[in-house]
Each structure stands twice: as C-alpha cells, then as structure tokens.
A = this chain, B = another copy of it.
Amino acid sequence: MQYFFIAPDTILYLLDMIGVVACAAAATLLAQHKGFDIFGCILVSMVNGFGGGTVRDLLLDRHPMFWMTDLNYVIVITATSLILQMFFHIYHKIDKAVKLFDAIGLATFSVIGFKVALAQGALPLIAVLMGICTAIVGGMTRDIICNEIPLVLQKEIYITASILGSCVYLVLDWLGVNTGFNDFIMLSVIFIIRMLAVTFDWHLPSIRLVR
C-alpha cells in the first residue's frame, strides 16, 4: 500500500523543517520584542527549534544529537531568524502562515517524538510523553528564557492534540493498521485538532467540580 510518490520519511523530514521554521519565526518575534541582539534571537530560535527533541534524546540516551550530525537544522533556523530580523515588518503579513506552520510543527514533532521513543523500546505511555516533550519543551524553554509563562501550558488545545493523536495511533496499531499509514493518520489528527482550535478559539475547560 503505497500512498506517496515520495518516500514517507522524506515527507516527514520536510514537515519537520516546516515546523522548525515556525519555531524559529515565533522565537525570533518574541526575542526581538524582548530586546535580544542578533545572536540572542538566533540562540532562542535554536532552543525553540530543537530544544524539545534534544531533551527527548537526553532522556532516552540517544547520541549524538540529531542536529549535530544534520546541520540543516542549525542552518534553516539561523536563516529564518536572520531574514525575520531584517524584515521584521513582514511578520504580521505572515502571521497566518506561522500559525499554519506551527500546527504542522506540533503534529510532526509529536509523531517523530512518539515514534522515536517506541523505537527505543519505551512503554506506550512513555512514548506519548516523549511526543509531548518533543512538541512543547522547545516553546516552553523559549518562554522561560524570555521570562514569560509558557503559552503551551495555558488554556490552549496543544498538549491535548498531541495526546489524542498518540491515542488514535495506539488504537489503530492495536487494530493492525499499517505503520506508515498510521503515522499519516496521527499527523492529520493532531494537525486538524490544532487548526480547529486556532480557528474556533477552542480552549480546554477547567475540570473544577465544586467551588
């Protein structure tokens, strides 16, 4: 069953890069707002772009770090950050693109983190956590460095989308669905939930039962 003309791994890699671009754009915007200099902006962009994957790899003891052997990550982030710093005024024009890219990033980072953890022999529950870790730790660290309360932990459908995607994967896998196809389903579920949440301004309700 071959749905793609290009290999699924290539597609995942391209989506990963799109996510990295979104991270670098969001980080550069916040860093400029906080008065960071050129290299400060680039550094925060890198933290946002591959911080989550780095923490995941440290926790799972995977070495060397993916961005140490594949320099595309460092190069793409540096280029994105520099271009945005030079043409700062274009940001509001590309705001919608960044939100779209960000949703692609959330989905791709979750799938990659989840699959990497399973490949390392982690238990399914831990794999779900590693998917979340890959998807949100970078943005969380960016906000911490910039002295803001992390957005992704607040009333936004973000971690929720990642968890739902992982659950769908686990159920379909248990039902015997083909892995490559299942990756694609998980990716779509997370992406669609996130885009719906952004579009309709969905928030997770509080679960406080009694006042």
Contact = CB atoms under 8 A, between A and B. Distances in A.
- A interface residue count range (under 10 / 10 to 19 / 20 to 34 / 35 or more): 35 or more
Interface string A3-30: 0000000000000000000000000000
A85 B37 contact: no
A72 to B, nearest CB: 11
Contacts of A88: 208, 210
A89 interface: yes
A106 B159 CA distance: 30
Q: How many copies does the complex hold?
A: 3
Interface string A27-44: 000010011111110011
Given A153-B43, A163-B39, A207-B82, A63 B61 contact: yes
Interface of A: 31, 34-40, 43-44, 46, 54, 58-61, 63-65, 68-69, 71, 74, 82, 85-89, 122-123, 125-126, 129, 132, 140, 144-150, 152-156, 159-160, 163, 203-204, 206-211
Q: Which 8 A-B pairs have CB atoms at the shortest separation, nearest pair first?
A: A40-B153, A39-B159, A37-B204, A61-B63, A86-B209, A36-B153, A37-B155, A147-B149
12 contacts: A34-B154, A37-B156, A38-B206, A40-B159, A61-B64, A68-B123, A71-B123, A71-B125, A89-B210, A144-B145, A144-B147, A145-B150
